[in-house]
Amino acid sequence: MTTREQRIEKYNAGRAIYQAVPKTESLTRTAKDRKLCANLEEAIKRSGLKDGMTVSFHHAFRGGDFVVNMVMNKIAEMGFKNLTLASSSLIDSHSPIIEHIKMVS
């Protein structure tokens, strides 16, 4: 009897989409190579955001999610200018963004 992992490996052998990655590889990555960031500012820096770029949000939470506000506040604090905000929806809970827009006007 073969294990599930052996059957999967046999099924996927030679397929371009399959690549076995040893678990130890993720442990040996440097902090710079990891996807997880220590904080929001680090994530923004690592994204490569520059003045004049577009910041996009897929926003599935209605009325109670403040991620857009938190990110835009941090971006403003970091001094980025002339950004375009692309969000699938903005509602009353996102009214703090108006202050960032007024600062540009």
pLDDT at 65: 72
Q: Note down the domain range covering 19.
A: 4-104
8: which 2 tokens? 């999967």
> DSSP code of 27?
H
pLDDT at 38 over 80: yes
Give per-residue pLDDT as tens, 40-82: 999 999 999 999 999 988 766 666 678 889 999 999 999 999 9
Give the torsion sign (CA, 98, 103, 80, 73).
Answer: negative
Q: How many domains does the chain have?
A: 1
pLDDT at 21: 61
Residue 28 CA, distance from chain mean position: 22
pLDDT at 27: 61
Confidence of residue 92 (pLDDT cuts 50, 70, 90): confident
pLDDT at 104 over 80: no
83: which 2 tokens? 């950004």
Rounded Cα–Cα distance for residues 103 and 105 (Å): 6
